[in-house]
Structure 1
Amino acid sequence: MATTDTPGMRNPLHSPLLGRDDYVSNRGSEEDEEGEKSAIHVDTRFSTDDGSALDPLLPPAPGSKGSSLSAFLNILCLAIGVGSLQLSYTLRQSGWFGALFIVFAAAVAFLTSAITAKCMYLKPGGGRISGFHDIGYEAFGRIGYYVITVFNMLNIIGSIGIYAILSANNTSDLFAQVGTNISPRLLMLVSTVIMCTPTLFAKTLAETLLVSIIGTATSIIVTLAVIIMACVYPIRNGEIHVGDSVMRPGAISHYGAIPAGFAVSLSSVSFAYIGTTIVPHIEGGMRHPEKFTRVFGAALAVIASIYVVMATTGYWAYGSRTLSPITLNFPKLWPTTLANICITVHVLFAGPLYLVQMALEIEHGLNISKKSKNMERIWRLSIRIGSALVILALSEALPFFDNVISLIGALTNPVLIYLAPIACYIKLKGWRNCSKLTLVGLSLLLAFGLVVSGFGLVETIGDIVRELRHTK
């Protein structure tokens, strides 16, 4: 894939950490090591929906790919969610210095995703690797394929499970405000059905533009509501003034830095961005995949800016009394209710993006595209309905489902976000073809990922232990 540098701007893929080759496979012969005669140039502007290469002389099928705007909105919708409501609390843990962690985590997310994108074009013999699990296969054979597939499936189930829980609990609270009590279990069933419905009609992520637009719009409303509420109703002199009424939550303090909270805070924000597993699907679904890194970088810049504003505004307003989610600090007024409604809508419209990703992984593994049109449709519907039913069954069967889901995330994220992309890149590229600077950089990135993941895992296990003790 050809990459171009905008005048005055450095191409994000031209990073010392990744080396100087852009989307080429240099493994094998001496000529490959020199990167001269046998460097394989792969142009993915002409590819099928599943990422397989077509004859470059033929035009792409009309309407088979999504626009850069669609990819941009998909990224925003997947990344900006309910997790942003916890960012102010991370500043309570680490002080104002924690705002730098948010920016740093965005840079790390870009690097790991760029590494994943490069892996897609390091296929021995040339061509594009279409899926994240296929990267594992090309690097480590069937073991790599199955390990990544299992971890990825668990991670997606965890993400959808969290969304179903949040939607159900939030909706239950909203109904309770008007005097109606509905079981969260029933609402979880309804939420899962709502999330599953769009996936029955969207074959790929490129076809979920409407879902992405609605999900992104609700994210913007929640962001504005949080910022406005924090600015209008902050704690001052231990009080919050709402018209003639006064709430007295107590005096607050602000700190420049709280070193004891750095590790936990950094661990929390490190997974606030979109993961590497979605990269092949978004890039493969773009009409102009050569623009992926620019679109992804722009989306991360927007996300990081929103995160910093939300985190600092909330911490400024509530300081040492900041709660998670930040909406718990707000007076029970209509903007707070609006924010809660939008959070619920966002969850319902972001969930299908994860369900589509999960279905695509399964469908690719079963190779249903080789079947007849009718059989392919039947298989697709069965897989997507079955995936939703599995998540519902797990939610009903497992005690402390939310904590179990958090544990799944803590176990799978370090493998999928750090270990798999870095290990696959070095294996596909060949460590002898990587410069010492690249190897050192990748090693430091991997060490960082494992350390912050370790803190997150310890915290999650602690939550489960406390929950078990509380039930006894």
Structure 2
Amino acid sequence: MSDFVIQPYFAGTGALGIPHALSRSGWVGLFFLLLSAAMAQFTSCLLIRCLYHPSYSRLESFSDIGYATFGRIGWSVSIGFSQVFLLSTSILYVILAGDNLPVLLYSFTGAQIDRKVCIWILAAAIGLPFVMVRNMRDVSFMSCFSSMATFCLLLIVTVSSTSDFKETVTHAHHDWAIPRNIPITFSTFTFSYCGNIIFPHLEASMREPNSWSKVMFVATFVITLIYVIMGFFCYLVYGDAALVPIYKNLPTAAQNVAMIVVTIHVFLTVPMYLYVFTMSVESWIGLLPHDRQKAATACESSSLLRYPTLIRTIVRIIEMVLCATVAVLVPYFGEFTNLIGTLTGELLTFVLPCMFWIKLSWHQGNHFERTACIFVMLIGIFCAIFGSIDAVTAIVKTLESHGAH
């Protein structure tokens, strides 16, 4: 069950960008996809080990590890990038579903509804379960259904793309390697494996936390298998014409089914990301149970904290409105994915976990762990720098091209 809970934090929108990433890097991208998977597995296990460092009782979150290692600066960097990633990923999901819904409504009903209106409808629909979520077990329950949607998506895209094999493969152009695009391609893969900021909460909700490394290995293996299958067949069939999201290459009927599955996935996944995001926000204002006594002492005269359920509901509605507003203003799914992957994904997935472990457990580790840590951290820094440059350049070009039209 636990591996099904972990999978939605990886798979889904990540899988939709894999074929396009391969079209930018060539077949060598499959090697970097496997490398990214191995690095993500390694850093996720290091991160959980940092939670149980002997000098502390079990730390609760990614930002707690940052504070334990580098004090206030470590906490600020960790919480800053974590919150940006969680919120921007939620926005990315809303952008994706917001692009799908008008097309689906027109295909099945003939109704032409503006994309902006669809986004606000989605925000209202997603906001209802998000407001009602009480704890991590609630969102873990939703993640099981989200995993099923992911496997359905894999089946639809793979079967439909292979059915086009004879018609398109002879015209498809493939490259073995395009070195210039490897940093941004690697960042796309990184985004597809970025879940470290949620893992401490998932590990805490497990019945057997000691099984984390085994559960994580199974989840990473299954997800990588999904990525490799979808990436290989779609790049083989469509070559450098592979679009993002990949279902745009499919025939209309298959495309509509894929969009339905993806939209369901969004409904089930956004509340999970936003819940972890809002845990920090609600903690800051004293709405979490372990913070209420502290907040009540500091704000005894405040009437707001006397109604925690009302305040929590208002806070979550504001967060959902923020997601919808940005999704309306930033309608570029592919470019947004690359930017999130480079600016936050590399740091959260590879760089910061390695820095935490080096500071806390360098002397307890063996030679392999130390070498691997340095290797992973350097790759993360390199791809973050050059991938960010490429991502920003791509967004500027997209904005200019849309402005010209």
1:343 and 2:262 matched: yes
How many angstroms does 1:138 deviate by? 1.3
Residue 423 (structure 1) aligned to one of 351, 355, 369 = 355
Tell me the TM-score normalized by structure 1.
Answer: 0.75
Counterpart of 2:172, as a letter, is I
Corresponding position of 1:389:
321
Q: 1:232 to 1:350 in 2, by over 3 A?
A: same
**CA contact under 8 A between 2:130 and 2:275: conserved in structure 1?**
yes
Q: Return the match for 2:387 from 438, 456, 460.
A: 456
> Which segments of 5 or more consecutive residues in structure 2 lack a partner in the other structure?
294-304
* Cα distance in 2 for residues equivalent to 1:336 and 1:279: 32
In the superposition, relative to structure 1, how do residues 446 and 123 fare at CA in structure 2: closer, same or farther (>3 Å)?
same
Question: How many residues are paired up?
Answer: 388
Q: CA RMSD in A?
A: 2.5
Offset at 1:432?
Answer: 4.7
Residue of structure 2 in register with 1:173 after alignment: 103
Q: Answer yes or no: is the 8 Å Cα contact 1:119–1:135 preserved in 2.
A: yes
Q: 1:369–1:376: 8 Å Cα contact kept in structure 2?
A: no
The answer on 1:135 being equivalent to 2:65 is yes
1:447 paired to 2:378: yes
User: Given the alignment, which residue of 284, 287, 298 partners 2:207?
Assistant: 287
Amino acid at match of 1:84: A
Q: CA deviation at 1:275?
A: 2.2
> Is the 1:235–1:318 contact (alpha carbons within 8 Å) kept by the matching residues of 2?
no
In the aligned structure 2, how far is the partner of 1:394 from the partner of 1:224? 32
Contact map agreement 1:94 1:261 (CA 8 A) in 2? yes
Q: Which runs of 5+ in 1 are unaligned?
A: 1-68, 240-249
Compute the displacement of 1:202 (Å).
2.2
Matched, 1:273 2:205: no
- Could you list the per-position Cα deviations for residues 162-187 of structure 1 after superposition, in whole angstroms to 9, with x for gaps in the alignment? 11111111101212324311121121
Residues 215 and 346 in structure 1, CA contact (< 8 A), matched pair in contact too: yes
Letter in 1 for 2:44: S
Of residues 271, 283, 292, the one that matches 1:352 is 271
2:344 maps to 412
Q: Is the 8 A contact 2:92 2:327 kept in 1?
A: no
Structure 1 counterpart of 2:185, one-letter code: S
For residue 247 of structure 2, what is the aligned residue in structure 1? Answer: 327
Distance (Å, rounded) in 2 between the aligned partners of 1:307 and 1:406: 17
Looking at structure 2, the residues matched to 303 and 104 of structure 1 have their Cα atoms a distance apart, in angstroms, of: 14
Q: Which residue does the alignment assign to 1:467? A: 398
List aligned pairs for 1:11-410, cutoff 5 A.
69=1, 71-122=2-53, 124=55, 126-177=56-107, 178-236=109-167, 251-333=171-253, 335-367=254-286, 368-370=288-290, 371=292, 375-395=307-327, 407-410=339-342
Whole-angstrom distance in 2 between the partners of 1:143 and 1:90:
34
Q: CA deviation at 1:411?
A: 1.8
Larger mean Cα displacement after TM superposition, 160-169 or 174-183: 174-183
Separation (CA, whole Å) in 1 of partners of 2:246 and 2:272: 25
- With a CA cutoff of 8 Å and minimum separation of 6, indicate the structure with the bigger relative contact order: 2
Offset from partner CA, 1:135-191 (integer Å, 9 cap, x none) = 111112222212211211111111011111111111012123243111211211122
Q: TM-score, normalised by structure 2?
A: 0.87
Code of the residue aligned with 2:119 in structure 1: it is: M
Q: Relative to 1, partners in 2 of residues 1:264 and 1:350: Cα closer, same or farther, differing over 3 Å? A: same
Task: Measure how far apart 1:326 and its partner are.
Answer: 2.3
Identity of aligned residues (%): 26
**Is the CA contact 2:184–2:388 (under 8 Å) kept in the aligned structure 1?**
no
Change (3 A) 1:274 1:409: closer
Contact 2:188 2:337 in 1 (8 A): no
State the Cα deviation string for residues 439-459 of structure 1 (Å, max 9, x = none): 332111101111222332122
Residue matched to 1:5: none
For 1:195 and 1:123, how far apart are their aligned partners in 2? 41
- Shift, 1:408, TM fit: 4.9
Tell me the alpha carbon deviations over residues 54-75 of structure 1, each in whole angstroms, 9 at most, x when there is no partner: xxxxxxxxxxxxxxx1x32221
Contact 1:235/1:252, CA 8 A, preserved across alignment: no
Secondary structure in 1 matching 2:198: helix
